[in-house]
A and B are shown apart, each in its own frame.
Chain A
Amino acid sequence: MSAYDKILSARSKGRPTGVSYIENIFEHFIELHGDRRFADDPAVVGGLAILENNPVTVIAIEKGTDTKERLRRNFGMPNPEGYRKALRLMKQAEKFHRPVVCFVDTSGAYCGLGAEERGQGQAIAENLMELSSLRTPVVAILIGEGGSGGALALALADQVWILENAVYSVISPEGCASILWKDAKRVKDAAECLRLTAQDMRELGVVEQVIAEEDFDQAYEDIKSRLADLLPQLSATPIDELLRARYQRFRKF
């Protein structure tokens, strides 16, 4: 598959969205709503769940699966409230010493008037700073589109994994082509140049694991068993050591 085909795959409508991962990997999910400041952002779903008898905080960006749902979820483009809800749940996880698992799938943080008025940039900045020192393990899994800062705001983690046909990029190839070459048709070239495939991420050291996705039921099982291995290890690591490793993980770039 070319880089552009991977983008099409990452965006395709048949692809499982965030909530499917929560439902298929965890048990007893209880959704928690709201950022306690302004609103509840339906583009971000978060709450408590159980993995192998251990509580975890799970957070997913949700694109929606049919037209009505997609509209309600704003096509998985969070507003600042989505990032603030995520942060609230992360701080809650820190307080109660449970790990955080984030599923990331967004073309980017929403570029709207209200989003700017309510500090989209500030919301992402705050998440990055807080996640860098969150005193509990964090794992992020890129399941579809990893659109720039809007994805990174949930992906500053101890480990970052990616589905084999997911992508992660600083800018959409459309945006890149139109800015660089003033030609939106060169999107395929841009997709190649940006080095945004799961395989590129592995090569560049941006992710630890690439998850096979020939069969999504298998992918859920795979993620579940890998999480079940990793989370107890991370939880057993002295927190200051974990934070040093998290710092170094991003310091190397």
Chain B
Amino acid sequence: MNLMGLFRSPQNELEKGGKEAEDAGIHSACPRCGVQLPLSDLQENMNVCTACGYHFRVGPRERIAYIADEGSFEELDGDLLSRDLLDFPGYDQKLRNAKLSSREKDAVVCGTATISGQPCALFVMDPNFMMGSMGTVVGEKITRLFEIATELGAPVVGFTVSGGARMQEGILSLMQMAKTSAAVRRHSAAGLFYLTVLTDPTLGGVTASFAMDGDIIMAEPGATIGFAGARVIEQTIRKKLPQGFQTAEFLLEHGFVDLIVPRAQQKEVITQLLRVHVPGSMIFDEAGGEML
């Protein structure tokens, strides 16, 4: 479980997976409707509030379990580690804390997998690692994934969650936007399919690069998606922002995402989209209309 920050005390026990949630009687309050949810119910419901449908943030391993066929995920570049390239004060400590709280080495997990039998390259960003911020390692892993997918002729499915570029790596973080965009373009030019799933939150340099480059852009209900953060916009325009500004629904209304899909239906929709994009594939069975 990677629900750091949502609980007050027992999170370490949970992190270790030492005790069953129901045994400990642990509940988690839904940040939207406030209902106390037994953790076991929440987990069973893919970390979506059973009362109001709020989608909790989840870490990459849970995502992969929701989406990829069991045992099919093979991680790539899992041992790349960020370094404090610019001697930025406090960055080493931040990295250490992020590794502890996320149990990951950096803010994206990449690999290959099958989804309902369809092979693909998969990247999943991690809200628990410095809020998914993009430094050189994140940029490098995503770039390598697109390069490998281009070589393999495989589609890419990517789940984004990020506060933006990682300022502790200065201009080198900014360069990741250029690097990843160029890799996405090569993959695209090879006629290959790229699906992005924007989750809460997707902001800044990630929105302004590979998150918005998908052939099809899907979003999770209620996700905050934008370029500038809400606080910065309010300071700039000196006005309160309207309700629902920069939500997935707002982006759908303004034409910037293709579809909003609740977590429970994502595997099915992604499967269908992957199948449609297999060249020469038989999508429907002969009997009439059933998706194979």
Q: Which residues of A contact B (CB under 8 A)?
A: 109-113, 115-122, 124-126, 128-130, 132-133, 148-149, 152-153, 156, 168-171, 175-176, 179-180, 189, 193-196, 200-201, 204, 206, 246-247, 250-251, 253
Contacts and interface: CB of A to CB of B under 8 A. Distances in A.
A152 B165 CA distance: 13
B15 to A, nearest CB: 26
Contact of B165 (A170, A193, A196, A246): A170
B254 interface: yes
Interface string B197-217: 000000011011111110000
Given A195-B170, A195-B171, A253-B172, A128 B207 contact: no
Q: Name the residue in A111, A121, A126, A179 with the highest tally of chain B Cβ atoms < 10 Å from its Cβ.
A: A121
B229 to A, nearest CB: 8
B233 interface: yes
Contact of B237 (A112, A125, A148, A246): A112
B236 A122 contact: no
A148 B173 CA distance: 10
Interface in B191-242: 204-205, 207-213, 226-228, 232-233, 236-237, 239, 241
Q: Name the residue in A152, A156, A201 with the highest tally of chain B Cβ atoms < 10 Å from its Cβ.
A: A152
B50 to A, nearest CB: 32
Contacts, number: 157
Given A116-B245, A121-B227, A200-B171, 11 more contacts: A109-B208, A109-B227, A121-B204, A125-B210, A128-B181, A129-B184, A133-B189, A149-B208, A156-B178, A156-B182, A176-B167
Interface of B: 86, 88-90, 136, 139, 143, 165, 167, 169-179, 181-186, 188-189, 204-205, 207-213, 226-228, 232-233, 236-237, 239, 241, 245-246, 254-256
Contacts of A120: 208, 226-228
Contact of B226 (A121, A152, A180, A253): A121
Given A132-B182, A148-B205, A170 B171 contact: yes
